[in-house]
Every structure is written in structure tokens, then in C-alpha cells.
Amino acid sequence: MKFKDDFTWGVAAASYQIEGAAYEDGKGLSIWDMFCKTQGNVWEKNTGDMACDHYHKFKEDIAIMKELGVKAYRLSLSWPRIMPKGIGEVNEKGIEFYNELIDELIANDIEPYVTIFHWDYPYELYKKGHWLNTDSSAWFEEYTKVAVDRFSDRVKNWFTLNEPQCFIGLGYGQGEHAPGLKLSEYDLILMAHNTLLAHGKAVKIIRENSKLPAKIGYAPVGVVAIPNSDREEDVKAAEIAMFHMDEHTPVGSIFWSNSLWNDPVFLGKYPDEIIRRYKAYLPDTLEEDLKIISEELDYFGCNIYNGREVEMKNSVPVPAKRPYGYTITAFEWPITPKSLYWGPRFFYERYKKPVMITENGLSSRDVISLDGKVHDANRIDFLNRYLLELRKVSKEIPVEAYFQWSIMDNFEWAHGYKHRFGLVYVDYATQERTIKDSAYWYKTVIESNGENLD
């Protein structure tokens, strides 16, 4: 059994996590550049100043992708590299870099999938009020127009935003990510709305201005509930847990809710509980805004790494007790392969859009062995287990693509360089790349279209 013939096998990365060149060729500052300057924000005082030096080594990195048989690369654009002040002036050196990157991908038969925003928000716009400013969606609209005007003659696949749950929730709610704030829930709901409105305006800009027929998606976190058994009531419990919220749902959970971030986009409305709690804090233009937010998308993208087992008890969904010693990654995330079955299934049943897995992968403590190689058998096993579940669900619902996170080890946000997610090992002192065993394994998966999974 294999995936459908036109299935897309890809890899993913993000601008701030790999590019480096943080102060070169006219790039403006991002909130991550500034966040890294404060002691205690990032593990071991790490910064993204150089990261993987992809800005200078992109041809070498694309050659590795070519060697591995990768069909698509999900990259992100750095907003302040393209527009140093976030609006207004365009940095032609930044445009030149992405033009060369896109051209090199196409020359190597690798399809570019472009994410417009993956967290490196312009610092100049942060100073103007960031996502709290009612003009913030217009700023994003202007930036998107520049990207589409300059790249859509070769790029036809777009993602608007990556994981708004994280850049709003962790950046402005919990303070763990840039810019490191802990704002009230009333500020957060307005920021969420402005973010969703920015997404909708970006979709409209792409549709109206793309030089090639465009396909557009969105890449939120896929927060997955997994039935603890095959019992019908447990399946129902998991579905409820993924989408339902009520007066008992804590504020912290609301801002990680699948429904908050997806119902407005795909169903054109906020969940009832959001309206009950926060309508007074949302704009008077809510109904008009929702029409923009729900601009038609071509697929449902989601980043899925794990899930939580759920069961029904006394007609209420509750988390199931995990056994002692359940398996975890180096990030201490649970290893739950079935999340790549139940997540896509539940999302498709609710939103009726073909699914793309825009991120999935393993954080591990990889090392270069004495033989000069990286023997990451744990990553191979992880990916094998997850992809078996994705292959299973692909026979039941339309699954279009899988993007492994990540093509290379990189700057893992507040964790710096502690974690390694890559198929390619990066020595950050020398910038030497070493292709891991898992990368060669992934190559065989691509070549067989998943038929060799077992």
C-alpha cells in the first residue's frame, strides 16, 4: 500500500531558524533579534544571528534536498528582510535572496511552498503596537502584496501564517517566546482577531494578484485528541475534546483551541463561547471582518507532533491516564503516532478541506559517531510509526502532502540550539552539514511513495 500517485513529499524550515545574516544586506530587526539580546530569554544565550547560515549556503542545502529526492520545500520569508520597517521601503537585497532561492529550488525540480509569516515580526511594527494595532492586518496585507508581486511568477503554493497559537499564545500570553509579554486575555483576543483578519486579507491579495494560479493554505498547530480505545463513545469524546469549549474551559486552553483559530477561517464564525466571553472586546466590524477572514482556502494545513489520549467517563470527555514510563521525545513531548491518523480525520470531517501535514518530526539528542555518521534510528522509528498512520488515514480522506520538520537542525526558538529536529546534522561552529541516517531512510520513503513503510 502506498500514498496516492500525486502525493507531495517535502521538508520544511523557517527563515529566522536557519538563515542567519541577521544584520546583513539591509535586513531590518525582528522581535526575535531583540528577544535574543536579553539574558535569560534563550538557552545558553544562543541567538539566530548566524543560525545555519542558509543565507549564504542555500545552494548547498538545496543540493542536499535534491540528493534526498525531496519534491517540495516549505520555506518562509523574513518580513523584515524584505521590508526593514515592516511597511513602506522594500529591501531589494532581500528580494534578490529569495529570488535566487526560489530559482535554485525550481532548477532542482523542487517545488517552493512559501509561508509568508513564521514568527520573525518586524521590530519597527512592534513599536507601533504589533498585533494589537488595528492597522496590523493592513500592514500584513501590504507585505503580502510585495511578496506576491515579486515571487508569484514562480510560486503557486502559499501559506499565510504559521502557528498563530504559538506566536500569540507563547509570545504575548505566556511570555516564553518573542517579544516575551504576558498580556491579558482581552488583549489576546483582539490580537487573535487582528491576526485572523491579516490572514484573510492576505488570501484575498494572493487570489487577486498572483501571476500563477494559486493554491493557498494556513498552518496552525493541530491540537489533537486521540480516542483511548476503538469504542464509539471514546471516538466521540476525542472529537468533542478537539473542538468544543464551554463556560468551564480555562482561558489558557481557549487560546490554544482548534475552534478559535479555525472556525472563523473555515466556517466563517467564532465559537459560541468566544462570542459569549469576548464579543465586547472585539471590533464593531466583526461580521464584516469574518467575511474577510473566511476567504476560501484550498487545503487545511496543520503542524502535528503529538496528541492526548481521551476517553468518555460519565458522558464527559476526560484525559486518559498514561502508563508510567510512556515514551517521550528529547523535547519531552509524548510520542503518539495515532495523532497523525485522528488529527487529519477530525479536521477533515469538520472543515471539509484536503489536509496537508505542514510539520511533523522528532527532537533528538543526535551526535556524530566515531565513524563520522549520524545514526538516528530513533528518528527513523518515529517517522515510520507516524507515516503509517498518515498512510492509513489517506485511504479515508484526501491527504495532499507531508512536510518533514526539519530539513536541518536549526535554532529552536527559546531553546536555542539544544534540540535537533533535522534530517541533516549542522555543526554550528563550522557550518558543516552531515546527512543523517534518517534522511537516507526518508529518501527511500519518497522513492517508494510510502510503500516501503512497515
Residue positions annotated with a catalytic role = 163, 359
Q: How far apart are CA 318 and CA 296, in angstroms?
A: 34
Q: How far apart are CA 418 and CA 166, in angstroms?
A: 19
Mark residue 130 as left, alpha or beta (left: phi above 0; alpha: psi -120 to 50; beta: remaining). left
Q: How far apart are CA 426 and CA 51, in angstroms?
A: 10
CA distances (Å), 296 to each of 193, 201, 291, in order?
A: 18, 11, 10
Q: How far apart are CA 264 and CA 295, in angstroms?
A: 10
**Positions of E strands within 220-306:** 224-227, 300-303
Amino acid at 281: Y
* 206: Cβ contacts below 8 Å, ≥ 6 apart: 144, 148, 152, 158, 214, 216
Binding-site residues from annotation:
17, 118, 162, 305, 405, 412-413
Q: Is 162 helix (H, G, I), strand (E, B) or coil?
A: strand
Q: How far apart are CA 1 and CA 265, in angstroms?
A: 34
**What angle in degrees, to the nearest 10, is found between the helix axes of 232-243 and 339-351?**
70
CB 450 within 8 A of CB 387: yes
Cell numbers given for 101? 532561492
Q: How far apart are CA 190 and CA 66, in angstroms?
A: 43
Q: What are phi and psi of 275, to 5 degrees?
A: -65, -45
Binding-site residues from annotation for substrate:
17, 118, 162, 305, 405, 412-413
